[in-house]
Structure 1
């Protein structure tokens, strides 16, 4: 059997990161879409953010767009890196349709949680809460698939949530204004949906 060449090794590496072929193209498109609102500047952020007063006035689109817009380009890039990490770990854990349901579940849980249990929060932006929902769903898939990193991921996520609820944002978060409750609600929403969705079977 002929040894695998560098091209095949490269393809294998990309596949292991879920960045091969259409997966890579989809990730690139998602990153561009995530960074796009940063070009709209302050006016765009004000028009799209989760805003309690504006929501009470009937601007319901903010329940979706608040998770898309960011404080600034740096904030968007950090969430983009988080998206790339989640993609590399979990993109193949569920089908695209099931991932869409998980995303919607995380968004719904965050919106409901912030509205009902955090009434002092006047506005919110960012994708980190949704990304926590993605991590929770992906971790559950790895546990069900008995992948070796499942328990480690679960311990990390549980420890992070516990720290944030008892102490506050992690020291490396870069801001004391992180809305840690959004992370908790995102995890609950992601898990609630993923619990009903069997993950893809691993190839034998």
Structure 2
């Protein structure tokens, strides 16, 4: 992958724009939040749509701007390079994240936001595109920022430490969701590498 150039930034794939607009609509209608977030008890009772819709719900405008903005940045750059990995990730990652929350983090009863999906997409697409060129510092630097954030969350006990203020004092950062996204990215990257090797064999 060549170093990032402004000339390569264009319209993001439609599914990035669609996800952003859905999140914007939900943010403009706060009354929808409770019906869409990941709620452990509701999921246990069969409300499985929450597995996907939770990703487009945010706890306040700062949360939405940070998550939605990063989603579009990823779409404008790496998302255009790897559209297939992108749309598969947008569809497949939410169930992985929520499954980890449900089975491995039972104390996390409410969850929402695009941050985990963003992290998974960023790691996967940056790994797919970066070829070790030291001039291409932009995406490794962004990944490093996320690593620092994730380490800070873990240091704070996996329930706080995020750099964004939520509008609900009872909401904490879900480090387990971010770790699930990292796991998805690593698995998807291994699949992509294996597929590329089979094609070149």
TM-score after normalising by structure 1: 0.75
Match of 2:21 in 1: 32
Output the CA distance in 1 between the equivalents of 2:48 and 2:64. Answer: 22
Output the CA distance in 2 between the equivalents of 1:160 and 1:73. Answer: 20
Task: Pick which of 84-93 and 45-54 moved more.
Answer: 84-93
Displacement after TM superposition at 1:185 (Å): 1.2
**Alpha carbons of structure 1 residues 49 and 29: separation in structure 2 relative to 1, 3 Å:** closer
Conserved in 2, the CA contact under 8 Å of 1:139 and 1:153? no
- Identify which of 133, 146, 153 aligns with 2:132: 146
Conserved in 1, the CA contact under 8 Å of 2:122 and 2:143? no
Match of 1:193 in 2: 188
1:163 pairs with 2:152: yes
Match of 2:36 in 1: 48
Match of 1:114 in 2: 101
Provide, for residues 57-103 of structure 1, a one-character-per-residue CA deviation record: whole Å limited to 9, x for no partner: 11111111111122234422221112123224412331x23212222
Contiguous gaps of at least 5 residues in structure 1? 1-11
Conserved in 1, the CA contact under 8 Å of 2:17 and 2:72? no
Output the CA distance in 1 between the equivalents of 2:36 and 2:51. Answer: 9
Match of 1:80 in 2: 68
Secondary structure of the residue aligned to 2:191 is: coil
Match of 2:164 in 1: 173
- Runs of 4+ in structure 1 off by over 6 angstroms are none
Match of 1:130 in 2: 117
The two structures, once aligned, show a CA RMSD in angstroms of 2.8
Task: Pick which of 184-193 and 26-35 moved more.
Answer: 26-35
Secondary structure of the residue aligned to 2:163 is: helix
Secondary structure of the residue aligned to 1:197 is: helix
- Identify which of 16, 19, 41 aligns with 2:8: 16
Displacement after TM superposition at 1:26 (Å): 6.1
Output the CA distance in 2 between the equivalents of 1:116 and 1:40. Answer: 30
- Identify which of 87, 97, 106 aligns with 1:100: 87
Output the CA distance in 1 between the equivalents of 2:18 and 2:92. Answer: 22
Match of 2:199 in 1: none
Provide, for residues 113-149 of structure 1, a one-character-per-residue CA deviation record: whole Å limited to 9, x for no partner: 1011110111111111111111111221133x33422
